Amino acid sequence: MNSQKIIVDTDILIDFLRHKVEAKTLLEEAAQGHDLYLSVMTIAELMAGMRPAETEATETLIAGFTLLPVTETIARHGGALRRKIASSKSLLIDCLIAATALAEDCLLLTHNRKDYVTSGVKFYPGTH
């Protein structure tokens, strides 16, 4: 049986790094029988908001995931998603993460579903 691919959003990783139990539980649960991925865009978001004392923990966390690049196809789809939902507060980076999830047939593990609601992504159960 093939395992489901799950792309983890930045908010979950930040909560994990800040020792929030729910994030730790979600990641542990998702890792059971599933392949976990990060968009390279998530790395950019983590680096932008990282506290200096979190550098080592952040690098260790990132190393535990398979990274997914932003290809030309993903960039085009992400840009089209952003244009489509221009009236919303979704950021281009969220649109690129959504496009990556769609291109790679991943479920999205996030607590920020509102940022992705019109993108067509499928969400990992247990998040809101």
CA dist 5 → 14, 48, 86 (Å): 20, 26, 28
Nearest to 100 by CA among 128, 72, 127, 125: 72
Residues 34-93: pLDDT tens digits? Answer: 999 999 999 999 999 888 898 999 999 999 999 999 999 999 999 999 888 766 667 889
CA distance 97 to 116: 9
Place of tokens 């089209």: 80
How confident is the prediction for the chain on average, in pLDDT? 90
Nearest to 60 by CA among 99, 94, 16: 16
Query: Domains of the chain by range and CATH?
Result: 5-123 (3.40.50.1010)
Token code pair at residue 83: 């244009």
CA dist 17 → 5, 56, 116 (Å): 22, 11, 23
Look up residue 89 and give its DSSP letter: -
Place 111 in a pLDDT band, splitting at 50, 70 and 90: very high
Confidence (pLDDT) at 50: 87
| Residue 128 confidence (pLDDT) above 80 | no
| Residue 1 confidence (pLDDT) above 50 | no
CA torsion 37-43-45-50 (nearest 10°) is: 120
